[in-house]
Chain A
Amino acid sequence: MSEPLDDELVLDGNAAAGALSEIYGDEMTTVLAECASCGQVDPIGGLLAYVHAPGIVLRCTACATVMIRIVHTPRGTLVDVKGKRIPPPPPRT
């Protein structure tokens, strides 16, 4: 996990901007997120984003620990937040 940036499939967290603003009803990429594992702080838009997967996964830039996961399903969008400081998603309606 020493070179998480050395990867063709990685984007930055702005790639998840649309999905996040749908969930939160607000622009989220400038919100600061703190890695629960190593303490690294980055704006959500600066996190490592993996979108070529069954869902969207945002990871810490320093240690690649998972901070946010987003899955779109036919019955709604699910989000899981592990990073500190990131506000919890609003309750689903």
Chain B
Amino acid sequence: MPERFVTRGFVGRRESAGAQANRIPPGQHLVKDFPVLSAGPTPRTDLAKWTFRIEGLVKEPVSWGWNDFQKLPAQDFVKDISCVTKWTKLDTRWRGVSVDILLEQVELDRRAAFVTAFSDGGYTTNIPLPELVNGQAFVAYGYDGRPLAPEHGGPARLVVPHLYFWKSAKWVRGLRVMEKDVSGFWESLGYNNHGDPWKEERYTGD
């Protein structure tokens, strides 16, 4: 069976259509491009003025400038992402800093339970703290081997791939740690507070 052997080597890691289908949450369809969704003008933040801040229920707030943020230990992440507007994109390739690394720099208050991610332009989104840790979320500044483009949230965006992509705040500038949950920009107007694509948590009441 030499031919089969060659063929297997050739297709390498390519998956069968069935295996891909198993990675697409209910109600979603696969896209190859990367749709741009935006609720406002694309901010063009001067990197010299950019900061990333962790505030709220921490002993001392911490803030990094762009250059310091680049010096934090970075990782490559390959993730499937799903937007509530029903597209799913597989194997998106990011570079950034795990939220675990960022949280190592602060001392969390015992009451810390929820996080609001806040962005340039005033966008906010809320995520339970336990869903941002243990490798589940990162702040990305690279996409597909290049700096993250402004229309996709550059210079940096939060990425929380296991939740609908509105939780992955573009142009993110920090995390506010809180005791109580505070609804974000979409969560306060009909979108689900949690947003798990595998449970189709699209709207309030889903």
Residues of A in contact with B (beta carbons under 8 Å apart): 1, 3-4, 6-10, 48, 50, 52-55, 57, 59, 64-66, 69, 71, 73-75, 78, 80
Contact = CB atoms under 8 A, between A and B. Distances in A.
Interface string B117-158: 000011000000000000000000000000000010000000
Contact of A57 (B40, B191, B205): B40
Contacts of B166: 54
B60 to A, nearest CB: 30
12 contacts: A50-B40, A52-B37, A54-B39, A54-B84, A57-B39, A57-B40, A64-B40, A65-B122, A66-B40, A66-B122, A71-B190, A73-B203
Contact of A50 (B39, B43, B186, B188): B39
A41 to B, nearest CB: 20
A3 B121 CA distance: 12
A6 B203 CA distance: 31
**Residue from the set B38, B122, B191 with the largest chain A CB neighbour count within 10 Å:** B38
A55 B186 contact: yes
B41 A64 contact: yes
Contacts of A73: 190, 203-204
A91 B203 CA distance: 20
The interface residues of chain B, by DSSP majority, are classed as: loop
A59 B189 contact: no
Contacts of A4: 40-41
B67 interface: no
The interface residues of chain A, by DSSP majority, are classed as: loop
A92 B121 CA distance: 30
B190 A78 contact: yes
Nearest to B206: A74
A54 B85 contact: yes
Interface string B152-183: 00000000000000100000000000000000
Contacts of A75: 203-205
Contacts of B39: 50, 53-55, 57
B35 to A, nearest CB: 8
A40 to B, nearest CB: 15
B42 interface: yes
B176 to A, nearest CB: 19
A55 B35 CA distance: 15
